[in-house]
Amino acid sequence: MDVSVNGEWISETGAVLVRRSIPGLPEATENTVEIAERDGEVDFGSTYGARPIGLAFFITGDYDTTVSLLMRQFNTRRGVLDLVFSDRPGKHYFAQYRGTMSWDESTGNRVIDIPLKMYDPFPESDERITELTITRSPQVVNVQSIGDERASPVIVLTNIGTTTLHSFKIRNEYLMEG
């Protein structure tokens, strides 16, 4: 198991990812309001909060050099980091370093824990752009999202010819699968 940070694999720095903690779902935040002279609260539903991520690396290379490289990779001044795990290719976890880097003293300080937080708590999939020439009317084109969350596609229609289009229709139909 390995992790890429902004396109650079950590295993190339002299560290090995030995543990990762990513909760299945981020913590839920309840949205309620207390109103004077009314018992209880008014519930406005729940939303997801930020999602913490914990990474632990075993130092295999020169200790001081490798720790220095890890600190440089996860420096909070780098802002949002794009994390991709080797066993989850195509899923991008956008997180920032938050907390304190700690050492596991039971391993002689060879395991370093790095806390991160995803403020947008869901990973994103690689963008896939498909170009298609419409050759007949009507023509049906299926658009699929392979991410964890349902997403609407962005559809851009461009007339690259010299012929003016006098009639045009876009229809959004949902197929029920059962």
pLDDT value of position 150: 61
> CATH assignment of 3-125, given 3.50.50.60, 2.40.30.200, 1.10.730.10, 3.40.50.2020?
2.40.30.200
Q: What is the mean predicted confidence (pLDDT) over 150-162?
A: 69
Q: What is the pLDDT of residues 103-127, one digit of tens each?
A: 776 666 789 999 999 999 999 888 7
**Band (131; pLDDT cuts 50, 70, 90):** confident
Q: Is the pLDDT of residue 178 over 90?
A: no
**Band (162; pLDDT cuts 50, 70, 90):** confident
- Burial class of residue 89 (count of CB atoms within 10 Å of its CB; 0-12, 13-18, 19+): exposed
**Mean pLDDT over each residue of the chain, to the nearest integer:** 84
Better-predicted residue by pLDDT, 49 or 163: 49
pLDDT value of position 138: 67
pLDDT value of position 176: 57
* Structural contact between residues 19 and 112, judged by C-beta atoms closer than 8 angstroms: no
Q: What is the mean predicted confidence (pLDDT) over 134-141?
A: 70
Instruction: With residue 65 as reference, give the H or E element that holds it.
Output: helix 63-73
Q: Is the pLDDT of residue 72 over 80?
A: yes
* Structural contact between residues 109 and 46, judged by C-beta atoms closer than 8 angstroms: no
What is the C-alpha to C-alpha distance for residues 55 and 102, in angstroms, rounded to an integer?
11
